[in-house]
A and B are shown apart, each in its own frame.
Chain A
């Protein structure tokens, strides 16, 4: 096995801030190390590249055991908004950009972004619904073709 990773293809399948950030950080970090990177957005992960949703992604406070709080509290009005605002402030301090800016930065860094064809069909989306950084809408088969010769990371 090679001792250095030279290419990664990262799948972002989950929505919500805690669903999309890990993949974005991995992709950006790969480019920072000079590693070739692809990002493939599927299911609710596609919110991160959907124009009308990418700026409004929140942290889920219900059914999210990582929140360290009772789900019953999470259903209270404004809880998700509050958790989201707290998380965003913390991330800004750490110099982690908001999702739309991060997507632009990652694309500028040379990472290619793709949307999943099946999800697009399922949610009846069109290419125009995505931010301009999205290269194309591709099938699973095409994804494997693009990922050839590198590592695949599923998030």
Chain B
């Protein structure tokens, strides 16, 4: 298992940089991962998506799909792609401290 340093925090990550121990996640770590993914600053809308992903994971045990994010009224698909350019489901999950989402939709 690899480790990664974000600011003063050291977190466990998998080969692709997804966190493997959610207890190590903080908002500062999230912001640092976001910068690494090319998102300079997490806006309130980014946080709304991240908070929902974490809440849904606690309740259902899996990272919500893009379709669920859209249908639950959290964020439209177009906007989601604009907020997390280049692969929104994976990027948002990574920033939220989740494991890499599996699945084709």
Q: What is the interface of chain A, defined by CB distance below 8 A to chain B?
A: 25, 28-29, 31-34, 94-97, 105, 108-110
Q: Within 8 Å CB of B87, what residues of A?
A: 32-34
Give the distance to chain A from B105, nearest Cβ to Cβ, in Å: 5
Q: Is the CB of A108 within 8 A of B77?
A: yes
Q: Is the CB of B104 within 8 A of A29?
A: yes
B48 interface residue per 8 A CB criterion: no
Instruction: Pick from B78, B86, B105: contact of A96, CB below 8 A.
Output: B105
Q: A96-B105, A108-B77, A109-B81 are in contact. Are A32 and B66 (CB under 8 A)?
A: yes
Who on chain B is nearest to A105 by CB?
A: B77
Contact pattern, B 60-85, Cβ under 8 Å of A = 1, otherwise 0: 00000111101000001110010001
Q: Within 8 Å CB of B76, what residues of A?
A: 108
Q: Is the CB of B77 within 8 A of A32?
A: no
Q: Is the CB of B68 within 8 A of A109?
A: no
Q: Within 8 Å CB of B88, what residues of A?
A: 32
Q: Within 8 Å CB of B67, what residues of A?
A: 95, 97, 105
Q: Is the CB of A105 within 8 A of B85?
A: no
> A53–B88 Cα gap in the complex (Å)?
31
Q: Is the CB of B105 within 8 A of A31?
A: no
Who on chain B is nearest to A34 by CB?
A: B86
Q: Is the CB of A94 within 8 A of B105?
A: yes
Q: Is the CB of B77 within 8 A of A109?
A: yes
Q: Within 8 Å CB of B66, what residues of A?
A: 32, 105, 109
Who on chain A is nearest to B89 by CB?
A: A32
Give the distance to chain B from A146, nearest Cβ to Cβ, in Å: 20
Q: Is the CB of B81 within 8 A of A31?
A: yes
Name 10 A/B residue pairs within 8 A (Cβ), A-sorted. A25-B105, A33-B90, A95-B65, A95-B105, A96-B105, A105-B66, A108-B78, A109-B66, A109-B77, A109-B81
Q: Is the CB of A110 within 8 A of B105?
A: no
A-B pairs with the 10 shortest C-beta distances? Answer: A34-B86, A108-B77, A34-B87, A108-B78, A95-B65, A95-B105, A96-B105, A33-B87, A105-B77, A29-B104
> A109–B69 Cα gap in the complex (Å)?
13
Give the distance to chain A from B71, nearest Cβ to Cβ, in Å: 9
Give the distance to chain A from B97, nearest Cβ to Cβ, in Å: 20
Who on chain B is nearest to A25 by CB?
A: B104
> A29–B88 Cα gap in the complex (Å)?
11
> A32–B104 Cα gap in the complex (Å)?
9
